[in-house]
Structure 1
Amino acid sequence: MKVGIVANILQDKSLGEALEYFQKMGIQTIEPGCGGYAGKSHVNPAVLLADQEKLAGFKQTIEDSGMTISALSCHGNPIHPDQAIAAAHDTDMRDAVRLCKELGLNTITCFSGCAGDGPDSRFPNWVTCSWPEDYLKILEYQWNEILIPYWKEFAAFAKENGVTKIALELHPGFMVYNSETLKRLRAAVGLEIGVNFDPSHLLWQGMDPVSVIRELKDAIYHVHAKDVRVDPINTAINGVLDTKHYSDEINRSWIFRTIGYGNDLAYWKNIFSTLRAIGYDGAVSIEHEDSLVNRFEGLEKAVRVIKDSLIFEEKTEMWWA
């Protein structure tokens, strides 16, 4: 496995400056934002695809850094009921796929998206319960008329361009947010649909990341390293569904934390060991979204934890067996 980074943590720096900083820290591979909510501060696929000279310069910059690209991030909502938003995010995703082809990459990271409750909706509707039965009708519409048709067409487009791994982040607020919903979409669309495994979103929902790894196995196409601290007092009072702003740390039921500040080293070693056991040997992209820690200090601490717990070398023969 390799130490990676969600590169938009340094979106205020040039690509060259960001790569230099990452390289000095011992990070080996990057996951740059290419549109949608991730932005395009380091990589704008439309610009690179339209100018071979700029594309060549981009490739040279990456090569000179000694780093690689693990995947292109295009986290958006391509099935948003606002057609302008949906179209913009869909365009970003398709441009990211086309750029993957130029770069020889086969993986994008993204969200499944979330549809509205009907053809005249203005906003997404994330359904979290089955009663009253109105919610089941919404789910039927969302899955059968929007989600599955969209991803069938997009997966075919991606495959035509050499992208065989669409790594969906299991994220609440979007329609694919747990093991069951991922497996349902994968069964309907095909093996192009997989997972960008991010334990932070699983933890606060009450899932066990190691159990999810064992359940999804070869559907795991990419990995994020982000921690969460679930507040036992606030959760005991209000549960885990929390709409308070992330900056209201003391009152929220959970907040994102720097690696090692939500769970200890043994927890991360168990995750990485289980990933190795199911055959994953790709990037582990650190995603820093900790509002209590300076981003540079937080990233440096996260890298240390990852280096201490990630498994880098090939296995040796079981000489004792």
Structure 2
Amino acid sequence: MKLGVFSVLFAQKSLEETLDIIQAKGLEAIEIGSGGYPGKAHCDPDVLLKDEQKLNDFKQLVSSRGIEISALSVHGNTLHPQKDIAKGYHNDLIRTIDLAHKLKVPVVNTFSGCPGDHEGAKYPNWPVAPWPNDFQEILKWQWEEKIIPYWTEIGQYASDWNVKIGLELHGGFSVHTPATLLRLREAVGEVIGANLDPSHMWWQGIDPVESIKILGKNNAIHHFHAKDTTIDQNNVNRYGLTDMQSYSNMLDRAWQFRTVGFGHDLKTWSDIISTLRLVGYDYVVSIEHEDGLMSIDEGFSKAVMNLQQVLLKEPLGDMWWV
């Protein structure tokens, strides 16, 4: 495995400065935002696809430091019921797939999106209960009329360019659990896989180790984020795990994101890393920093330090004892 970082935490710095920082930390990979919510601070497909010299300069800037691009990330809601909003995210996704092909980057990370509840809807509707039956009717309509048709088309497009789609399992979007990811994968094909982030498993009450087993047995993990979560049970008792308070209200929230090792101990993280290898995932572990109690530099540095203790880097040899 290789240790990398999702570069959006350094969006205020140039790509060159960012690469120097991660090289100095001994990292071997970078995941770069290319539109949607992550923005285009380090990578603008519109620019790079139109100018061969700028594209070559971009590639040289990264490769000259011995760093690989693990994924381009263009998270957004391409299924948003407001067509202008959806179109913007869709265009970013298409251009990112095109760029990934030219750069020979194997994975494009994004969200599944979440539609509204009918053709005239204005806002997304995320059903999370089977009753009253209206929710089941909404969910059925969303999957049959929006989610599967859209991702079937995008999946074919990405396959044609030899690019895989890594969907982040994130609350608020239609694909948010191992089961929903596998449902879409079954309908669309193996081009669809997970950009698995354990932080989103914990707050949904899902054991990340077991989610890795479920997805890994289906060869359905395309990319992996390293981010932690802490759960405050007293606040859970008051607000539940679907706590709608702002992330900035950290003292009262039911859960909050933390840097690696500050939500769960390193034994837990060693189990996560070991299970990734157990199911055959030997690609990049990409650090994502969203810790409201630490500066970017401190949170990033501590994540690197903790993960370096548990990451399995060397290739497997023969079992000499067998």
| TM-score normalised by structure 1 residue count | 0.98
Does 1:11 pair with 2:11?
Answer: yes
The answer on 1:300 being equivalent to 2:301 is yes
1:140-189 residue CA offsets vs partner (Å, 9 max, x unmatched): 111100000000000111111121x2110000000000011111111111
TM-fit CA distance, 1:317: 2.1
The answer on whether the counterparts of 2:114 and 2:172 sit within 8 Å (CA) in structure 1 is: yes
Stretches of structure 1 that go unaligned for 5 or more consecutive residues are: none
- The size of the alignment, in residue pairs, is 320
SS in 2 for 1:13: coil
Match of 1:160 in 2: 160
SS at match of 2:318: coil
| 2:171 counterpart SS class | coil
2:70, 2:106 within 8 Å by CA — same for their partners in 1? no
- Partner residue in 2 for 1:39: 39
What aligned pairs does 1:185-204 form with structure 2 within 5 A after superposition?
Answer: 185-204=184-203
Q: What's the counterpart of residue 128 of structure 2?
A: 128
Q: What does residue 23 of structure 1 align with? A: 23
1:220 corresponds in structure 2 to 221
Moved over 3 A (4+): none
TM-score by length of 2: 0.98
Q: Which residue of 2 aligns with 1:183?
A: 182
Equivalent positions of 1:264-303 (< 5 A) are 264-303=265-304
Counterpart-to-counterpart distance in 1, 2:36 and 2:201:
22
Helix, strand or coil at the partner of 1:249: coil
The answer to whether residue 54 in structure 2 is matched with residue 54 in structure 1 is: yes
Partner of 1:209: 208
The DSSP-based 3-state class of the residue aligned with 1:32 is strand
In the TM superposition, residue 106 of structure 1 has moved relative to its aligned partner by: 2.0
Name the aligned partner's letter for residue 23 of structure 1: Q
Distance 1:171 1:248 in 2: 20
Q: Look up the SS of the partner of 2:37 in the other structure.
A: helix
Q: For 2:269, what is the secondary structure of its paired residue? A: helix
Q: Distance in 2 between matches of 1:41 and 1:13?
A: 8
Tell me by how many angstroms 1:65 deviates. 1.9
Supply the distance in 1 between the matched residues of 2:152 and 2:174 (Cα, whole angstroms).
15
- Name the amino acid aligned to 1:262: G
SS, match of residue 174 in structure 1? coil
Looking at structure 2, the residues matched to 65 and 44 of structure 1 have their Cα atoms a distance apart, in angstroms, of 20
State the 1:233 CA deviation. Answer: 1.1
- Corresponding residue for 2:144? 144
> Which residue type is aligned with residue 75 of structure 1?
H
Give the % identical residues: 47
Deviation at 1:239, TM superposition (A): 1.7
Q: Give the aligned residue type for 2:138.
A: I
Alpha-carbon shift at residue 236 of structure 1 (Å) = 2.3
Distance 1:238 1:154 in 2: 37
Equivalent pair of 2:203/2:255 in contact (CA under 8 Å):
yes
Quick one: distance in 1 between partners of 2:29 and 2:156? Answer: 27
Q: Does 1:258 align with 2:273?
A: no
CA RMSD of aligned residues (A): 0.8
